[in-house]
Amino acid sequence: MENLKVTLPGMVLQNPIMPASGTFGFGFDFVDYYDINILGSIMTKAITQHPRYGNAVPRIAEVTSGMLNAIGLQNLGVEEAVNAIFPRLPSIYRHKVIANVSGSTVEEYVAVIKALNKVDQIGAYEINISCPNIKEGGMAFSVDETMASYVTKACKAVSEKPIYVKLSPNVTDIVKIAKAVEAAGADAITLINTLLGMRIDVKTRKPVLNNIYGGLSGPAIKPVALKMVYQVYRNVSIPIIGMGGIMTKEDVVEFMMAGASAVAIGTGNLVDPMICHTIVHELESYISSLGFEKIEALVGVAHG
């Protein structure tokens, strides 16, 4: 599958398909379904400085063409990740992974990156700037270009690996945020994170999620994600990893034509554990049928 190879800062992927953070864990739950070494990379579950137990249940709800989640970044913390999880990972996956880094303060992001720098299997960091900045009253780093720039610079200053910054769609001007993180030193951009949404149980007359609001993902958000990838591609020079409602090989091609160099599949893994495996196997013949010899030739062609 040489024709599927793509290059990202610090990484060469055998194909552009990877599971999105939070929908695949570290891969251990999927090895009974298929050989996950077929994947271009894996975006790990979020890693924070200290263990987090997440939000109270119910924290997942189905909606039309998607789902809502308010998991709350449940994870075992960076110490457990470094000492127990990453040492086991090469036994099931031999390629470089992208570690998702989250925090509530800049200092937390920095602490996680410093601890993860020693892990050879990490090829890059995905910095989730949609987290609430507790020093700024809970406002997410992603909603203001100054804060987005600040956390990007801080992460870049201590990182020994490329920094990919994950952008939130819950902003007025996605291009402004993208340009700010690029100027601050981001090596790539991943987008989009989930949209905010909610459901109400008409029988109980209360919100379905204990957290009230949750992140909307799945096919429902694909048109928004595609538009934002298209917009950002026209305004930045660094690579983009696109995500948001990808369920088919056609979706992958659309995102790449809009400007994504690679893609991540999230909710699709929860619907069909084999989805990434299936799409990888379908891609080569599909791009050939469209008249493309190599998949990298698709990137940005929708811009003319």
Domain harbouring 275, CATH code:
3.20.20.70
> Considering its fold, how many domains does the chain have in total?
1
Within a domain: residue 207? no
C-alpha to C-alpha distance for 121 and 219, rounded to whole angstroms: 31
C-alpha to C-alpha distance for 126 and 77, rounded to whole angstroms: 16
Radius of gyration in angstroms for the set of CA atoms belonging to the chain, rounded to a whole number: 18
Within a domain: residue 123? yes
Q: Which domain holds residue 182?
A: 2-55+72-198+219-303
How high is the pLDDT of residue 130? Answer: 84
Within a domain: residue 256? yes
Within a domain: residue 270? yes
C-alpha to C-alpha distance for 138 and 131, rounded to whole angstroms: 8
How high is the pLDDT of residue 139? Answer: 63
β pairing state of 122-128 and 163-166: parallel
How high is the pLDDT of residue 122? Answer: 98
Within a domain: residue 61? no
How high is the pLDDT of residue 136? Answer: 66
Which residues are identified as catalytic? 131
Within a domain: residue 298? yes
Within a domain: residue 228? yes
How high is the pLDDT of residue 304? Answer: 84
Q: Which residues in the chain land under pLDDT 70?
A: 132-134, 136-139
Within a domain: residue 205? no
Structure tokens given for 65? 């063409």
C-alpha to C-alpha distance for 242 and 282, rounded to whole angstroms: 19
How high is the pLDDT of residue 140? Answer: 83
Q: What angle do CA 265, 78, 217 make, to 5 degrees?
A: 25
Structure tokens given for 271? 């619907």
